[in-house]
Structure formats: C-alpha cells, structure tokens
Amino acid sequence: MILRIPEPEVMNDPLQVDAYAAADFNGTDQAMVERIATLLQSSGASFKAQARLLDLGCGPGNITARLAQRWPKCSVLGLDAADRMIAVADDRRRAAGLSREHLRYEQALLPIHQADQPADLIVSNSLLHHLHDPQQLWSSLTPLASPHCLVLHRDLRRPDSQASIDRLCRCHVADAPLVLQRDYRASLHASFTLEEVKAQLLLAGLQHLQVVAVEDRYLEVSGWIMGCQAGSDQRTP
C-alpha cells in the first residue's frame, strides 16, 4: 500500500479554476444526482418543498446547479473555500437566470459546527481527499443536518500501488489538459482507502453510514442522519 501524500486544501489557482470550470464532468456529475434520487426512492423518502440541499466543496457549482434543476422547489446552497470557484459558480447561476433564493453560493471553511438552517441533504464530491484532517468533513455533518438528513459523499480511493495510479491516469485523464493530469495524479495520492474512511466515520460517531467501492477508482459514503443525532455539535467540551 502506498502512503498518502496530502495536497493543498484549497483549489484557488486561476489555472486550476479555469481548467475545472471548462472540463466535462457531465457523466459523473449526473450520476451523483441520480444516485441521490435512487437513495431517496429506496428509502421511500422525498424532498419536500423548501427542503435545504447542501453541497460541500461545490467548486464551480456543477453538481449544485444540477440539484437545483432536479429539485426546483428546494433551496440549494453550495459552499467552497476558494473564492474564485465561488465566483465562477455564481456567474453560472446568473447566466442560467436562477435566483439566489433558489440557488446560492458562499465561501466557507470546514469544519462547521453550527448551521443557521439545517440541511435535508448534505453532499460532497471529491472534497474529502483535499482535507488534511478528514474530521473537518465528518465532524461537520451532524451539526449541519436536519433530523432526517440524507448524506452522500463520493471521492477517489487511494490505489494500492504506483502501477495502479499510472494505469488510472492512462485510462481516465490521458487526453486531459496537463493541469488536470497533474491534479488527478496528486488526488489519487491524497485520497483515502475504504478502511481509512470507515475508521474516520467510527471516530466521528457515524459508523452507521455505508462505505462502498464504486467502479475502479471511487468510494462512496451514504446513509441518513436521524433524530437526536442531527443539528448539534457533539464534540467533547
């Protein structure tokens, strides 16, 4: 097993922002939204009007905007630490003619230990591997959650060898711009294994969430935060 090599937590370099804003992630982004719909259906649940959907580490707003399109009666909020990413996402919102009452973006750093309005969905895509301390994410879920909150987090999972990293780079980013090739390789090194994520969730008191491998390179964390688990900071004083 190769050792984890953390990468910078905030992706705010103009070249990175421009490259990610221009990249075509339509397939994986739509798959994330469809996965949310499947989890709702399998639980016999649905988002009511004015439900709050929260996208952590939203980047240029790819998935956030899709949430707003899929559930137009909900209030959707995207949070990211990078001000340039937030600017791109908000430009796209205005170009799409969406109001800030329906879809908005704000700059924020994790962890977050108090929510003005609890969320009915908390989602993140490729956020976890950016965090030097993964508890920045996991410790934020319970304080941000409503009493019946669906959570879905997808990220890369760290391969077990350099050869596997080389193979994934050849398979998935060989034709991408150099900045994306570089970042993809760094992200594979910075990502976590399934067992590491399970241990992180146990430490956070979220061991009931399901952790599974998806395709040849992803991991997924999903489940519900219910009742008294939600809406409070459970850190020891």
Domain ranges, ordered by start, for the chain: 14-156+194-229
Mean pLDDT of 201-230: 91
The CB-side HSE value for 216 (13 A sphere, CA atoms) comes to 8
When pLDDT is cut at 50, 70 and 90, the band that residue 235 belongs to is very low
Among 13-27, 73-87, 141-155, 205-219, the minimum mean pLDDT is found in: 13-27
What pLDDT is stored for residue 230 in this prediction? 53
Residue at 211: amino acid letter: V
When pLDDT is cut at 50, 70 and 90, the band that residue 229 belongs to is low
- Tell me the percentage of the chain whose pLDDT exceeds 90: 89
- Total count of residues recorded for the chain: 237
Terminal C-alpha separation, the chain: 36
Contact 66, 96 (CB under 8 A): no
When pLDDT is cut at 50, 70 and 90, the band that residue 234 belongs to is very low
Phi and psi angles of residue 163, each rounded to the nearest 5 degrees, phi first: -60, -40
Class for the domain spanning 14-156+194-229: alpha beta
Pair of tokens at residue 185: 């390789």
Mean pLDDT of the chain: 93
Contact 147, 227 (CB under 8 A): yes
Q: Is the pLDDT of residue 69 over 80?
A: yes
What pLDDT is stored for residue 231 in this prediction? 53
